[in-house]
Structure formats: structure tokens, C-alpha cells
A and B are shown apart, each in its own frame.
Chain A
Amino acid sequence: MVMKLRTLQRHVKESFKSLGRNGWMTFASVSAVTVALVLVGLFMMVLFNLNKIAGDIESDVEVRVYVDQSATKADQTQLASSLKQLKNVQSVTFQSKTQGLNSLMKSLGNDKNVFADVKSDNPLPNAYILKTKQPEQTASVASQAKTLPHVSDVRYGQGTVEKLFHVINIARNVGIVLILGLLFTSVFLIANTIKLTIVARRREIEIMKLVGATNAFVRWPYFIEGLIMGVLGSVIPVFLVIVVYHFAYYNLGGNLSSMFISLIPYQTMTTNLSLLLVGIGAVIGVWGSLSSIRKFLKI
């Protein structure tokens, strides 16, 4: 059903009137949403980045299969093809001992000179680097690879990856509980502040119902009111997220990059998180507002 423009105008006018008339109540509700969303915003910022870092590390997980020093060229070729036939292996890359040493030296940066001496007498074995189809298959692939002939050793990020995921999971669950708690609290606060103002408007709702206004008609101004309060409540949190992430990304991000960790790009993060916060604000505003009048519609 399409609403008449005149009716929409009336609803908008009514909601602004009521927001203005109950100025302090409006302020209280908006503040409640603001506090909740500031915490939600900061938490999401951390959580999203932890998730991304975990994902990056996860996709980086590889199994290094070291070839026995005594293996011949033929043995190596034989090994390569059997590695390829292992279940869940996506790719097999050969890394010669020289390449291995080079990449090791490179990753050490200025300290690479300590290896200058060993260059002529490279102690590293040749290696095959396996990538699995799914990150959680690394362990099983590694143990299979170990049983093959001419394999001296198999290495992957045993333990560390699992630990990281474990920590992230706990952080995520605790965070979700906290966030839900906060959001429910602000819904409750909004509902209650509107309930305080409703005493005066109760009669109005009653009359509307008695002369035959539909529930939808009665609800509209409250819907708009809640929407406005929720969106107003998200202004400060959005601003804060933009400022804080600017600092985090451009200052902290630089330090982290030396540890091979990259944060979610500034633009992506601020855009998505802002939209999310405005959305959450709108939902709790509307929800709180509408739940406060439910009781009064039963006439």
C-alpha cells in the first residue's frame, strides 16, 4: 500500500514535534545509543582486523617437505610426483637449497651477513613447498608426506596457527556476548525513555484507535522517531571510528607491516564500519521505539 504524501508529511512532522517536546528524553536515548555504538565500533575494528590477519596467516600456511640430502635427481622427481598425488594437495613448488638460503637471508634483512660464510657450503636441504586446498588440511597432508621415501623432515606452523585461531575464537565469542548485551541495553533504554514520554501521548493513541486509525498509522511517527534517534546516536561513533582508525592504520599499521601483518585498508574499513554502525543504530532505535508502544495499541 502506498502512503499518501500528505500522510507521510504528517508522520514526519509529528515525530519531530515529539522529539523536540521531549528534548531531554531524546538526548538520553541518543546518548545510550552513542555509548553502545562507540564500544561496538571500537570492538568491531579490532575484531575485523584480527579476522583478516588470521585469514592471511591461514592462507599462508604451507607444508615444507625437506628432501633427504642423499636423494638423487631421480628420487626427487619420483618424490615430486607422489607429493602431487597426495589427497588435498593444491600445488607443489620446488625450492632448491640456494633459493631457500636466499629467501632466508632476505627475510633477515640487515642481519643477512651472518650467512655470507655459509653461502659456499649451504647446509639447507632442497625442499618442496605444498599448499593444501583447505588450511585445516595441513596437518593431515604433513603426516602423509612424512611417510614418503627420501623425505628428511616435514615442517608446518604446528601449534601456532591453531593457537591463534583459538584466541581469535574466544575473543570473538566474548565480544559478541558483550555487544549483544550492550545493544539490548540500549534498546531497553530507548523503550523506557519513550515509555516515560508516552504517558502524555497515551490518550492520543487511545483516541486514534477509537476513531479507527490503523495500527500502522499509529506506529509510523514512533518508527520515524526511533529511526532518527538511532541514526543520531551513530554520528559520534562513526566519527570516532574514522579518527581512531586513521591513527591506527597510518601509525600502527606501519610498525605491523615489518611483521608481515597488514591491516584492513582505511577506506574499506571506515566505509563498511560506518554503514554497519548507522544500520545498527537505526535498528535499535526503531526496535526500542516500537516496542514501547506495543502495549498501548491493544484497544
Chain B
Amino acid sequence: MDDMIVMQNVWKAYPNGVMALNGVDLSVKEGEFIYVVGPSGAGKSTFIKMIFRELKPTRGKIFVNHKNIANLRERQVPYFRRKIGIVFQDFRLLPKLTVYENVAFALEVIEEPPRMIKRRVMEVLDLVGLKHKMRSFPDQLSGGEQQRVSIARSICNRPPVLIADEPTGNLDPETSWQIMDVFKRINEQGTTIVMATHNRDIVNTVKHRVIALEGGMIVRDEEEGAYGYEA
């Protein structure tokens, strides 16, 4: 299978002198599901932000979907982002929009035709099991439901890669399993998933490849790995 994400000798130094990544090499195959684990300050966030080009590497190459995004021109970034789904710990929904509108918003701002938007929004809401809540506002939903809306929004443009930064960080254990269930369905449709997490139970139960970062370096890379840190 093809490589979806490839990092070649990636370094990242922040202006304040902190070295967040020190020569990371990695390749993630199309359709793979990987966990990125590691203690706080290990470079997880930097690693994640690098993949959707919120940050540029100081040195090295990053290929996402066969495109080197390290030297991507600024005006090309929006078009690149359309092929990446991003999910955050804090959901990032717009409080004044309904569930339906929140998902449709992502398609409206990239100027998709309205007919297509309607169909696609219903499709993804169905996938995350929230079709019946489409008229609710975010504050009327539970945390888990809000995260599912945000997942629906992230995949509505059919991205080949989904990046999740601590998606269960704000959720109770039971809700977290629902989220993993949604991810599993998305992964089964062929979407590559990169998930940064602190959730040991999930990593140890739903077995996938585990990448452990420490001090800005990959210290462990195991298929069907375990979380491996004491709680």
C-alpha cells in the first residue's frame, strides 16, 4: 500500500530556542490507524500541527498524500487542508450554529454547491449517529455528542487523512468508547487516522500501531503496541 504520511529527518526549533522535534523519521501507510503517545512536552502537539501545516518544520521533509508540505506555498495551504480532517480536544464548534449548520459550515466556506452540501451533511451525521440532533445547538449536547459533531465536520469533505489531537481528552471513559467506535467506522472506509492521546485504556484495548515520542524523538514504534507509560 501507498504511504499517506512520510516524515524524513524532521526538526523543529521554536523561536525561543526549544527543540520540539529532533530528527523524526516516520512513514504511515494509507488506511493505517496510529496512536501518538508520550508525556506532556514530548513534542506530540508539534508533531500533530506539523501534519496539517499549522507549523512548518525547521528542517526535513513531510509528505502528506504525496505532497511535500514543508515547502508548500502559503496560498496552497487552504487547498491542502481540504484533504485533511482535524479533530481537537475542545471540539471547536460554533455555539450559535446548529449541529447541521456547524457541519455544513465547513463545506460552505470551501464553496461546495448547496445541493451537495445537504446530502453530504446528512450522510456524515448519520455516520456519527446524530442525524436526530441536527437542529440542536452545541450547548444542548453532551461532550461526546459535541465531539461526534466535530468528527462529522472533519470528514465531510472526504479527507484521506484524519488527525485527532486528544479527541477523548475532555470526555468520560464511556463516551470515549463511542468516539473510538466512530473512528473505527471511518478507518474502515479507508481513511488514515493519526490520533494523539493520553488515554491508556483505549490504546491498550483497541490495538493499533503506537508511536511514542519523548524529547522530540520517536523512542518506540510498535504494531499493535501498548500505551507503555505508568498512569
Q: Does B111 contact A (CB under 8 A)?
A: yes
Identify the closest chain A residue to B49 (Cβ): A299
A290 and B123 CA atoms in complex are apart in Å by 37
Q: Are B92 and A206 in contact (CB under 8 A)?
A: yes
Q: Are A212 and B81 in contact (CB under 8 A)?
A: yes
Q: Are B54 and A207 in contact (CB under 8 A)?
A: no
Evaluate whether A207 and B78 lie within 8 angstroms (CB atoms) in the complex, with A7-B111, A213-B110 already known: no
Q: Are B78 and A212 in contact (CB under 8 A)?
A: yes
Q: Are A208 and B109 in contact (CB under 8 A)?
A: yes
A245 and B104 CA atoms in complex are apart in Å by 53
Q: Are B157 and A207 in contact (CB under 8 A)?
A: no
A215 and B111 CA atoms in complex are apart in Å by 13
A4 and B109 CA atoms in complex are apart in Å by 12
A33 and B78 CA atoms in complex are apart in Å by 34
Q: Which of B106, B109, B154 contacts A217 (CB 8 A)?
A: B109
Q: Does B177 contact A (CB under 8 A)?
A: no
* B:94-118 near A, CB below 8 Å: 94, 105-106, 108-111, 114
Interface size class of A (residues with CB under 8 A): 10 to 19
Q: Which residues of A contact B106 (CB under 8 A)?
A: 207, 211
Q: Are A213 and B94 in contact (CB under 8 A)?
A: no
Q: Which of B52, B92, B111, B114 contacts A207 (CB 8 A)?
A: B92
Q: Does B75 contact A (CB under 8 A)?
A: yes
Identify the closest chain A residue to B94 (Cβ): A204
Report the minimal beta-carbon distance from B231 to chain A, rounded to whole angstroms. 31
Q: Are B94 and A6 in contact (CB under 8 A)?
A: no
Identify the closest chain A residue to B81 (Cβ): A212
Identify the closest chain B residue to A3 (Cβ): B111
Identify the closest chain B residue to A214 (Cβ): B78
Q: Does A97 contact B (CB under 8 A)?
A: no
Q: Which residues of A contact B78 (CB under 8 A)?
A: 209, 212-215
Q: Are B82 and A212 in contact (CB under 8 A)?
A: yes
Report the minimal beta-carbon distance from A48 to chain B, rounded to whole angstroms. 43
* A:207-243 near B, CB below 8 Å: 207-215, 217-218
Q: Which residues of A contact B92 (CB under 8 A)?
A: 203, 206-207, 210
Q: Does B86 contact A (CB under 8 A)?
A: yes
Q: Which residues of A contact B229 (CB under 8 A)?
A: none
Q: Which of B75, B86, B105 contacts A214 (CB 8 A)?
A: B75
Q: Are B111 and A211 in contact (CB under 8 A)?
A: no
Report the minimal beta-carbon distance from B62 to chain A, rounded to whole angstroms. 17
Q: Are B81 and A210 in contact (CB under 8 A)?
A: yes
Q: Which residues of A contact B81 (CB under 8 A)?
A: 209-212
Q: Which residues of B contact A213 (CB under 8 A)?
A: 78, 109-110
| Residues of B in contact with A (beta carbons under 8 Å apart) | 52, 54, 75, 78-82, 86, 92, 94, 105-106, 108-111, 114, 153-154, 157
Contacts A210-B52, A211-B82, A211-B157 known; 15 new A-B pairs at CB < 8 A: A4-B111, A6-B114, A203-B92, A203-B94, A207-B106, A209-B81, A210-B81, A210-B92, A211-B81, A211-B153, A212-B109, A215-B75, A217-B109, A217-B111, A299-B54
Query: What are 14 A-B interface contacts by the 8 Å CB criterion?
Result: A203-B92, A206-B92, A207-B92, A207-B105, A210-B52, A211-B81, A211-B109, A211-B154, A212-B79, A212-B80, A212-B81, A212-B157, A214-B75, A217-B111
